[in-house]
Amino acid sequence: MYNNPHMSSQSVPTHVGFILDGNRRWARENGLKTLEGHKKGLENLNEIAKHSFKRGVTFVSAYVFSIENWKRTEEEVGYLMNLVTKALDDYLDTFHKEGIKIVIMGRRDGLRAKVIKAINKAEETTRNNTNGTIGLCFNYGGQEEIADAVQQIISLKPDTKDVTTDMISSYIYGPEIPPIDLVVRTSGEQRLSGFMLWRASYAELLFTDKHWPAFTTNDLDESLEWYANRERRFGK
């Protein structure tokens, strides 16, 4: 387990979000089929999430499949759906034994029955776990998340003065998951691409040129070091 005597528990972010970019580019650069990059990417998420929890991070979120990803080829979309379903089944026992809660954030519309079944099983099995939470943004869009929350609130017909940021926060996906402290995006792109827009308003943003499958636990340690040296003022 990594231990830095200069980092206090207060300097470790509570919630780290990862934008898993560069799976296909990594595969091409390593002479593999592009779909193999997605497989390696999910395997790496498992390792990075476990190391994050060991470092004291309580919530880990990952952008796994965006609503815009439906525009990709039918072959790639089908592969991703099967891959995520298999990963939920394969990693469920391990996360459950380690007391990690799994939360899937995103729309269920358009998902195959077997995918929804795997999601429901993972969430139900780990519902009461308290050693950490991994949130998977799947069939997710940041603007859609806010719109869905607003639609739910409108259906309640509240007095307009009662509609506050706290109320909206209680209706977004996985409302028990707090704001993000640190967002890490791999593969050189420098944008959020709709990732957790509501929660990321005061997040520190770290961009690295490494493709996600090549992002290591050492890279995570360096990211946490970088975060610990940031001065967070929250508008003060």
Mind telling me the catalytic residues? 21, 69
Pair 84, 65: CB distance under 8 Å? yes
Q: Pick from 220, 228, 177: which is nearest to 18 by CA? A: 220
What would the DSSP string read from start to end of 10-78? GGS-SEEEEE---HHHHHHHTT--HHHHHHHHHHHHHHHHHHHHHTT--EEEEEEEEGGGGGS-HHHHH
> How many residues in the chain?
236
